[in-house]
Structure 1
């Protein structure tokens, strides 16, 4: 810390020491007289920007006499200073300059009016209006064609992000780039066992969520192939380009402080029935939770009625010992054959609500910056501490960010960016179906008579650390025992950043060099205490994860103008080196309880280990030609040589070329359009990009296995290597228009795209006699078509009140046009309960089908779509796989609103996702168990299934018991009846705030300060078809995320927050 303070003091001293004077004033719109924020004010190498209310203050040296005021969409003004201490400026709009500077491929800054492809960006203010732990969640609804889906385990979960839907069978993740250098966004899961034993899958978070939003200046999305082609084989799914803050926004030393606190509560809990309690066939009596009583080993809610005065022995009913003291009915180790006293058999309608707690997240940030004649710097520290609504679950993250831009001479520029992140958690909850997920016992099989508060003391007295206390000992763990004793902790250290050097050789020629790294090490500790359902003697695992990526590139650039033409040519190259390793050592039997160490193993230690290395060498070129400020042409080309496609004998092709060409035509600069037009541009482009494969697909590798007689063992991978494997190739056509009217009060941006992705990398099953179970090949083609519409309107704009509203609409469809299997289906993934093929949702594709098609089984129906009922009044199973839906929406629409009235501001965002289906395991299991509201109707005469008799064809008239009816109709082996429409409408974000301009001398602050406070909300309400869960989530299966399945997910959060920030 001492060294950091000394560094800050040293940096603060850097700058000009010439005699200075101060100029201040206000910048407004020439027509409306409303203030303009973020106007760039320049005085030689010295500069600043205006604040929210349009005011500014700048220190100038005595020998300079001009100020330049510039802002996108306005005419630049140069003002002579003279002896004026106060200079107020009114800027006039300039239709010819209505553009926006965005960061594009390779970190290059471009004016959007020049681009022949669609990009969309949001700034720091929009990104941080409402605080979230994962900044990716704040992109949803604000960018057309960008879909963000949250993980199922609350705070710290990964978020899945796609751009323009899914077009690949294997990988649809976009590339993330920070300050010009790619970073890792993978989620690395623990090693698991699909059967009903072993550790369940745990989501430890994805890489991009560790980018600190307080340090982000802007996020730009490169959506299409033209925008992303310069990134080659890593860019077929688009690129998220992040620019971090530096110290260039203000001359001199400045400090910013901010604090935010959000309070979370459980959102969208299942709708339960509270009429019937634990048991089966209307009977229940607790003895030992193992079947010694009446249905006490079964946690269904098909038992007696609740709240009618029944007295029944239960798990938390008292047992009187010989000495007169009392224990609980489930303290089975403490008494022998003593009677359990009967207690009222009552409902507990709030048992799940009572289980979740109030979550609290605090985020504190301090940043110092300094702008001086030869550069600028910024140093920031952020502390995030989040306590989840799930008991025992938390996330802590501390971030240090530093950025230095330095110009030692007019021709030389050195830039550095450095980020250090430490993330840790005492516990991450387990995913999916099984006893390690608390929803297994609380939602799927939790009886409605269960009093959750009586489970908080989760040890049997005198047996602490050895025997848990629970309501059932056959299948379930006490949920508090799971979260507070069976922990999944991690600690991750990460460094990412870069250093770059640029030399202007001549006025027109420059060369740039840059190298950057993303390096992380992580230690995970998974502990399971004695008496755990899966590990009766406890278990312990240590999981070490390492990732290192180094990118080094160079770029030679030439720029010049020739009369009506402008020319910008660049050529460069990149070397990408990646090393990744993961090692999990575990024991599933502990010698002594409560000692979590591999040295305490009572059985041989199992080791699962995998390492990989990958390298890509690249050369690329860019040519940009402009004509008379209205016609632009971009041509790019990149060639990649990938080690992942190399073989020991160099059989396969490792070199692949990706070209692109795009053009933009600014009609408003070339023709006299009607006066309503402020700006009009047409754009079009065609490009090719690739989608590389992971290492060792062409040559194979050995995988570490469990030791044999103390000796290490290895096995070959389970697939046949393909020495001729190629990367997937996407060819994309795109055209669009950018139209603006009425002095930029109405903006309309339209994009249509059509892409074909061929040579899909897929796995085909092979005969087990080959010694393998699959073969990786190229095959299949997907055609993706879509439209994006961005409509921006400023209905009100005057000196006091301004209202901006933006609609982001997107719709796309990915169709399979070719498969290597004739008239067959290809399985891409699945989601199943344990390793049962009968309880599986299949993600399959076939020619004419779509990516995202869901397949499952159901019950027989006739040609009129009526159920066929057997002679006993029961449904007849149809085990033929059938399409039961598709998880992709028909369209998405985000409606973002920003109001400002004097110093007040109001923002809210609605997010509408229409269409798509989701299979719900909560619906299936909760109804089979009789927990959910759908099963509340239980007439004594039984229920007659709607359908026709299999013999007569007449309507069914045979009744079955309600228990029999519901357990069959919602049977988890048949997914068709457990499908919901995944549509939703959400009030995703809300914020109201006030900005203060503090006078000089406030708290000793010179030159005044800007203070802002706001009250925020997130996930405030949702309209959905299903009453049980938030459909905006992903499940985990086989160390991968799967969409379209809800797998006993945890409740999402509704949050309210307070933010305050001061800048001086």
Structure 2
């Protein structure tokens, strides 16, 4: 009982820790808020530029070069500037004002700074002609996020212009009316708007995704030009992820990233999907890491409303700086931040959505419950039954206790249904025996999703801040199942001096959920879909099950034992299944989580080109959970309670150096990291039932409870560096290296070095300017990465267990450790081509790669004669190769209408090249009960091979044993009874798809926007236990039909019924007999052969739809303080266009190789409102 007392002590400690962290956050928040407001406006024009080289060309090209070097925002008229030639110039330590004056000396332009934007206007506007009245217009320029400062406004055909102020307002005197105003801003689409008369003219700008996509986030959060990268990085904007308010990050990425396979989770649960990037590169498959603002976290606690952009790093060259954790790729998320020199901006999002059941299996509605076509008949027994039950003698009854549907036809015959034996107004009544076709659908309710958030952002010259709060509430389609989540996100920066600045990103998440649905096969008593797809009877009226308790507290269920042979109390006991409503209202699990993660640090500019960054990253969680089985249900009552406290701290320091040396650019980094991870967990559960019914507490255990404490600790120390060289925007080379020392490996071999070399060549820099080829780049990268062992994997120690009888409190481990265990090693090579065509209207990016993963840390099964059953060692070589293709296009773009689209496709082949000596097969997973099926990695075969029993197929042979032609060839072989003969351990196909991809479009017409996204998968195999149970138990529509004689095959063979199997005898003679329908499906197919239950995992799915409208700013909206208002209707998972197995959404498989009582898919339709104040 000592362990129990420790568990009781842990809970208050967790609560105390949670309260202290929250109090600390609330104490720091006002301080952070106040410091971000400190600062005063300064001029960017007078700052010195260390070095910039301007190539011979025109003034427009020169300004673009200055933009790249300084990182400042410029506003100018591109069409005018490109007509002025500029000679090659080199400027060292000159102010920006001096450089611009030199470049623009022949343009008569005026340069000034507004709201941090460098504005370049044509020469001073001439006054209107004498005698002609001056026409004046003005208004507010906005985008979807609110007012836009720094937008250039030019009267077309003149040098008359202005720029919007920090509130997006502008005023301009027109030389003539009518006129056309041209609105332009870097990163936005240019707009030409006619002006018929003076007055107010408000304009909404749209983002130019192709221009914005030139800068991406790479490893360690470093922002770089995409043109300089020698590896594949795919970036999508936060608005693309949040199109339909999906809260699961991985599902939101579906179809948008070339080479990323969605390993789905059912949409009707709280679970999140998985992603596999570029196939399987290890025996375990591999999953990418998720990095939010530089902090590696799990993907489950991310508020997508707060995400600015996402970059996906696919190859080892891209992820080498992350070391062992990113061998399978990395997903980098960048949060929204406040902007400097911007007044406070308030953004409000409010969404409501309704979630409905969409995809479930089909069921037959002709035959009812039973293992034969006869009704049970009630036999009165005076020794067991009340005397007044004698009047029921001889009444027909449903076979309540049966878990199959091979019974009599549901033809309206008067019978006693299950509810007629419970006390009440229906007691003793006979009702028609009929089907309730929608009884499964009737169980599920309409779920409600509420998603609300508010964000405050802004900044001064020296500071920026953003604080947001989001609240999410979700009712699942299952009774009593809901989740509540709260997100608080803060990001702030502050320049203490010109050289020293501090920053912080803090995220707080709380989660409470109840009644997460169970899946799994028939062995999981609380799997509702397993009940519906095997035992549930088509004649059950779901409305009669909703009152799941009698007045005395007894649980009501359809699956009663029945009165024959039982007294009145025993007759109402469930045989095998509980009422599905009692499962969700009484036998549920709960989970709560409090999490704080983020980083804080400082930057110090040692020299103009040398910067020191130091920070601490933290991720701290407090998890509490419990689970229960209610008293009075089928299984013995039970209770479990636990808590865990995982926490990770990373201590980082980096030196960053960058220098422009005439035609060369140098960017170097040297850093170090110490990662420390700890996790404590306490858990206990009752044994032998509860001493007091429905008292859910560990001390209510009838016997000594099971209890345990876990403690895990790991440390990884790292040193890493990077050098990037660029030559005249033509050639770029990156060299990186990282060395990790891990505590989970033997001391002699606990270190591993990861090098990478990559480069890119911009060949269009050497070509004459072209109207069709805007940009072209080839890239090449080579890298190595690796991974360590699990925590304590190399430590040999005793295992704790509950002493009982002859079992001691400690036992010896059953795994032997290889004393020469070393890190695994993955080598990757990648080549790519990127093109932009027709003035950036079309983008094409293709990558070809090959990965080789060797010396993987894995356990081998060994003979138990030496006292162990497994051996941890290095083994295997997995080779993965493939091609990714991504295409973007803007077929139409004019003043009122634009059409953007994307499409991607990827193919990958992963193969097992080698395993260990004398080893041809590695068992990855298996089913031990029922149908024997394995997931194997076989030497020389595709990764992830399904292996199981198949039919024996006939092949005719001559006297010499050579194959010959025969009409019986290829047909299954049957025995004399019509049962199939089988071959064990036969390959059934790989679970990996042949192709994955997606496509989507966005249409904008004036203030309307419409978008959709589709994702798809071609190939891959999976096992469906749902289909096996539906067929075996007679629930599947395929079990209803007629034989070749035109007679109902459910009738007995003696009456002309039965199924004639399509097969031959061992000698090739056709089988001409008939088999009882139940025998055929339940005895000869169910749990016997795999092919009827192995399906293609291909699918095509319309994932998202959105229709929105943005209201332009009006006088009445400005009076209310509203700068922007957008409303939208959206849908998630509205249409499963194609799937090979009807009734199962193969994009949401609960397991990557099988589904076992798959919970259903849902579709969601919602409304969202977004305000910017």
For normalisation by structure 2, the TM-score amounts to 0.79
Q: What per-residue deviation string (whole Å, max 9, x for no partner) do you get for residues 363-413 of structure 1?
A: 000111122111110111100000001222111111111111111122222
How far does residue 584 in structure 1 lie from its aligned partner after superposition? Answer: 2.1
Q: 173, 176, 191: which is aligned to 2:287?
A: 173
Higher share in helix? 2
C-alpha separation in 2, matches of 1:480 and 1:497: 41
Cα pair 1:26 1:56 within 8 Å, conserved: no
Structure 1 pair 960/779, CA: closer, same or farther in 2 (3 Å)? Answer: same
Q: 1096, 1114, 1128: which is aligned to 1:981?
A: 1096
C-alpha separation in 2, matches of 1:178 and 1:230: 16
Cα pair 2:476 2:482 within 8 Å, conserved: yes
Q: What per-residue deviation string (whole Å, max 9, x for no partner) do you get for residues 685-727 of structure 1?
A: 1000112221112123444322559999344443212332222
* Corresponding residue number in structure 1 for 2:528: 438
- In the TM superposition, 1:1024-1039 aligns within 5 A as 1024-1035=1139-1150
Q: 346, 354, 357: which is aligned to 1:255?
A: 346
C-alpha separation in 1, matches of 2:246 and 2:659: 45
Q: 413, 431, 441: which is aligned to 1:310?
A: 413
C-alpha separation in 1, matches of 2:233 and 2:494: 29
Q: 1013, 1019, 1022: which is aligned to 1:909?
A: 1013
C-alpha separation in 2, matches of 1:355 and 1:599: 35
Structure 1 pair 18/439, CA: closer, same or farther in 2 (3 Å)? Answer: closer
How far does residue 99 in structure 1 lie from its aligned partner after superposition? Answer: 5.8
C-alpha separation in 2, matches of 1:756 and 1:261: 47
Q: What per-residue deviation string (whole Å, max 9, x for no partner) do you get for residues 886-905 of structure 1?
A: 22111012011011111111
Count of matched residue positions in the alignment of Structure 1 and Structure 2: 976
Q: Which moved more, 1:722-731 or 1:539-548?
A: 722-731
Structure 1 pair 282/893, CA: closer, same or farther in 2 (3 Å)? Answer: same
* Corresponding residue number in structure 2 for 1:7: 30
How far does residue 14 in structure 1 lie from its aligned partner after superposition? Answer: 1.7
1:242 aligns to 2:333 (yes or no): yes
Q: 512, 517, 532: which is aligned to 1:424?
A: 512
How far does residue 942 in structure 1 lie from its aligned partner after superposition? Answer: 3.3
Cα pair 1:153 1:429 within 8 Å, conserved: no
Structure 1 pair 358/605, CA: closer, same or farther in 2 (3 Å)? Answer: same
How far does residue 980 in structure 1 lie from its aligned partner after superposition? Answer: 1.4
Q: Which moved more, 1:902-911 or 1:840-849?
A: 840-849
1:602 aligns to 2:702 (yes or no): yes
Structure 1 pair 1032/804, CA: closer, same or farther in 2 (3 Å)? Answer: same
Q: Which moved more, 1:993-1002 or 1:593-602?
A: 993-1002
Q: 130, 138, 144: which is aligned to 2:252?
A: 138
Q: 657, 671, 679: which is aligned to 1:558?
A: 657
Q: What per-residue deviation string (whole Å, max 9, x for no partner) do you get for residues 585-640 of structure 1?
A: 00031011111111211111101443211111000110000111110000000000
Structure 1 pair 395/287, CA: closer, same or farther in 2 (3 Å)? Answer: farther
Cα pair 1:72 1:100 within 8 Å, conserved: no
C-alpha separation in 2, matches of 1:409 and 1:828: 57
Q: 312, 315, 323: which is aligned to 1:232?
A: 323
1:869 aligns to 2:969 (yes or no): no
Q: 735, 758, 763: which is aligned to 1:635?
A: 735
* Corresponding residue number in structure 2 for 1:456: 546
Structure 1 pair 521/807, CA: closer, same or farther in 2 (3 Å)? Answer: same
* Corresponding residue number in structure 2 for 1:201: none
Q: Which moved more, 1:852-861 or 1:894-903?
A: 852-861
* Corresponding residue number in structure 2 for 1:669: 765
Structure 1 counterpart SS, 2:448 = strand
C-alpha separation in 2, matches of 1:133 and 1:367: 18
Q: 489, 493, 500: which is aligned to 1:405?
A: 493
Q: 820, 826, 829: which is aligned to 2:925?
A: 829
How far does residue 494 in structure 1 lie from its aligned partner after superposition? Answer: 0.5
1:272 aligns to 2:363 (yes or no): yes
* Corresponding residue number in structure 1 for 2:892: 796
* Corresponding residue number in structure 1 for 2:996: 892
Structure 1 pair 367/803, CA: closer, same or farther in 2 (3 Å)? Answer: same
Cα pair 2:145 2:1172 within 8 Å, conserved: no
- In the TM superposition, 1:482-881 aligns within 5 A as 482-535=583-636, 538-588=637-687, 589-646=689-746, 650=747, 652-672=748-768, 674-708=770-804, 713-822=809-918, 824-830=920-926, 832=927, 836=929, 838-863=930-955, 864-878=969-983, 880-881=984-985
C-alpha separation in 2, matches of 1:719 and 1:29: 69
Q: Which moved more, 1:9-18 or 1:411-420?
A: 9-18
1:999 aligns to 2:1114 (yes or no): yes
For normalisation by structure 1, the TM-score amounts to 0.87
Cα pair 1:284 1:296 within 8 Å, conserved: no
C-alpha separation in 2, matches of 1:246 and 1:744: 28
Structure 1 pair 93/856, CA: closer, same or farther in 2 (3 Å)? Answer: closer
* Corresponding residue number in structure 2 for 1:38: none
Cα pair 2:989 2:1021 within 8 Å, conserved: yes
Q: What per-residue deviation string (whole Å, max 9, x for no partner) do you get for residues 885-924 of structure 1?
A: 2221110120110111111111011112111112101100
Structure 2 counterpart SS, 1:584 = strand
1:953 aligns to 2:1068 (yes or no): yes
Structure 2 counterpart SS, 1:843 = strand
Q: What per-residue deviation string (whole Å, max 9, x for no partner) do you get for residues 906-946 of structure 1?
A: 10111121111121011001111111111122423334444
* Corresponding residue number in structure 1 for 2:570: none
Q: What per-residue deviation string (whole Å, max 9, x for no partner) do you get for residues 742-774 of structure 1?
A: 001111100000110111222211122333321
Structure 1 pair 460/991, CA: closer, same or farther in 2 (3 Å)? Answer: same
* Corresponding residue number in structure 1 for 2:1079: 964
Structure 2 counterpart SS, 1:956 = coil
Q: What per-residue deviation string (whole Å, max 9, x for no partner) do you get for residues 639-683 of structure 1?
A: 00000113xxx3x40110000000000011122264310000000
Structure 1 counterpart SS, 2:486 = strand
Cα pair 1:867 1:946 within 8 Å, conserved: no
How far does residue 166 in structure 1 lie from its aligned partner after superposition? Answer: 1.1
Contiguous gaps of at least 5 residues in structure 1: 32-40, 62-67, 76-84, 186-207, 329-339, 1036-1041
Structure 1 pair 12/388, CA: closer, same or farther in 2 (3 Å)? Answer: farther
Cα pair 2:1059 2:1075 within 8 Å, conserved: yes
Q: Which moved more, 1:858-867 or 1:682-691?
A: 858-867
Cα RMSD (Å):
3.3
C-alpha separation in 1, matches of 2:1066 and 2:308: 70
Contiguous gaps of at least 5 residues in structure 2: 1-21, 44-72, 81-111, 120-140, 150-163, 168-182, 191-199, 386-396, 562-573, 956-968, 1042-1047
Structure 2 counterpart SS, 1:694 = coil
* Corresponding residue number in structure 2 for 1:1014: 1128
Please say which structure displays the higher CA radius of gyration.
Answer: 2
Question: Post-superposition, which runs of at least 4 consecutive aligned residues in structure 1 deviate over 6 A?
Answer: 17-20, 24-31, 46-49, 85-95, 291-294, 466-469, 709-712
How far does residue 93 in structure 1 lie from its aligned partner after superposition? Answer: 11
Structure 1 pair 456/508, CA: closer, same or farther in 2 (3 Å)? Answer: same
Q: 126, 136, 143: which is aligned to 1:51?
A: 143
Cα pair 1:47 1:249 within 8 Å, conserved: no
C-alpha separation in 2, matches of 1:930 and 1:91: 57
C-alpha separation in 2, matches of 1:29 and 1:978: 63
* Corresponding residue number in structure 2 for 1:78: none
1:119 aligns to 2:233 (yes or no): yes
How far does residue 1002 in structure 1 lie from its aligned partner after superposition? Answer: 2.9
Structure 2 counterpart SS, 1:760 = strand
C-alpha separation in 1, matches of 2:420 and 2:877: 63
Structure 2 counterpart SS, 1:484 = helix
* Corresponding residue number in structure 1 for 2:374: 283
- In the TM superposition, 1:328-343 aligns within 5 A as 328=427, 340-343=428-431
Cα pair 1:607 1:704 within 8 Å, conserved: no
Cα pair 2:398 2:418 within 8 Å, conserved: no
C-alpha separation in 1, matches of 2:114 and 2:301: 37
C-alpha separation in 1, matches of 2:858 and 2:35: 56
Q: Which moved more, 1:607-616 or 1:479-488?
A: 607-616
